[in-house]
Amino acid sequence: MQKSSINNVNTVLTQIFWGIKQWLYSGKRPNWIAKILNRGIANSASKSVSPDGVVALEVIGRKSGRVVSFPLVVAVNDGQRYVASMLGDNTQWVRNVRAAGGKAVLRRGGYEEVQLTEIPVNERAPILKVYLYAAPGARPHVPVDMDAPIEEFEKIAADYPVFRVTSKAIQE
């Protein structure tokens, strides 16, 4: 197979993948299939069966008062860990984390109590760029290419919450 044919196949497969991801989260909300997939991914992440960087975030639900689990990708920038919302500001996990004052648990084969601190908009751009490299599944939902200049990320930073992850064991 020629190199151009391989590139064409890769391009088509990427477009199909992106289309499926956008369908699973149309309107920036997970459909019923995405909810089932997210539960499975969060469960496997909590048992350390998922790819590097994937964790299960556990936080107290702001309405139910029960522990709710979400799969997320942790991105590392300048030695600090961060999580970002690929669907923007209006997601359940972001609302729950804010309501819980940033108190959460990360599970990846273990149990780590963490404090999530929201990053100001003017500091998010470089972290969002790193996040897109760490989380390929987020790329269809963020309107900037991962190789775009940092100025492009600055334009969208207000729409995508980013939280610094700090271990409670380190804080105490």
Average pLDDT over residues 14-18: 59
pTM for the model stands at 0.74
Residues 82 and 162: beta-carbon distance below 8 Å: yes
* pLDDT above 90: residue 148: yes
Q: What is the mean pLDDT of the chain?
A: 80
**Can you list the alpha helix ranges (DSSP code H) found in the chain?**
3-24, 32-46, 92-99, 125-134, 150-156, 168-171
* pLDDT above 70: residue 94: yes
Average pLDDT over residues 115-136: 94
Fold category of 3-171 in CATH: Pnp Oxidase; Chain A (2.30.110)
Task: Let me know how long the chain is.
Answer: 172
41-85 pLDDT, tens digit each: 555 555 554 446 788 899 999 989 999 888 889 999 999 999 999
Question: What is the pLDDT at residue 109?
Answer: 78
Task: pLDDT band for 172, please (50, 70, 90 cuts).
Answer: very low
Task: pLDDT band for 108, please (50, 70, 90 cuts).
Answer: confident
**Domains of the chain by residue range:** 3-171
